[in-house]
Structure 1
Amino acid sequence: MLKKKFFKTKKEAEVTFEFSRDDIKSVALAGEFNEWSPLTMKYVKKDKVFRTRVRLPKDSSFRFKYLLDNETWENDYQADAYVPNQFGTEDSVVDTKKSV
């Protein structure tokens, strides 16, 4: 799940990435915004969700995926869009264009 916070005085948006599934022990976030280098997400026990926040430039879009247990790639079930990738699957997309 994606949650976005837009700032009036900054040219960036804070995006909260969340992933929840009962059968996994770790989740990392990787995408174009971090050169596909997996960033470990923190598990929030009370919400039963893995979560991290990233600041991204406004008016942009980025491909991303979650790496589950350091072995399986998974898309965000509520991404802004999905686009085909070079591996014959799809990548999730986060869009930082503020909706009117």
Structure 2
Amino acid sequence: MPLTKTYSKDKSTCKVGFSLPVEAANGAKKLFLAGEFNEWNPTLLVMRKAKGQFSASLELPAAAPYQYRYVTDTGAWLNDTEADCYVYSAFADADNSVVVL
């Protein structure tokens, strides 16, 4: 399921819906959302599991792109196959998913 974006009336913030199919989560029982919006904390934002999807929503300032990844309960970092784009991270030696607002 692609990212969902709902902008505030004044376009200053955007509620972003993140989701990943359960089958894409490598058998994870829990999935977390980490990114620039939470200082890459791998366990702060727990995603809900329902109807075959892990999902979470965040209200973000709408002035910038945000890098993010999903983190499984076993510590594996996953990209979003439906991200707006990807950017290389030398820290992880991998691409990060990006949501553009």
Q: Which interval holds the TM-score relative to the shorter structure?
A: 0.7 to 0.9
Q: Residue 42 in 1 paired to residue 43 in 2?
A: no
Please give the alpha-carbon distance, in whole angstroms, between the structure 2 residues aligned to 1:12 and 1:89.
Answer: 29
For 1:93 and 1:58, locate their aligned partners in 2 and report how far apart those are by CA, in whole Å.
13
**Size of the alignment, in residue pairs?**
94
Superposed CA RMSD: 1.3
Instruction: List aligned pairs for 1:57-68, cutoff 5 A.
Output: 57-68=61-72
Unaligned runs of 5+ in 1: none
Q: What percentage of residue pairs aligned between the two structures are identical? A: 35
Which runs of structure 2 are paired with 1:22-41 in the superposition (5 Å)? 22=23, 23-38=27-42, 39-41=45-47
TM-score calculated relative to the size of structure 1? 0.86
Question: Aligned-pair distance for 1:25?
Answer: 1.1
1:31-87 Cα shifts (integer Å, max 9, x gaps):
00110113110111xx21111100111131011000012410000001011000012
Given the two structures, how large is their TM-score scaled by the length of structure 2? 0.86
Uncovered stretches (5+) of structure 2, i.e. residues with no partner: none
4+ runs deviating over 3 angstroms: none
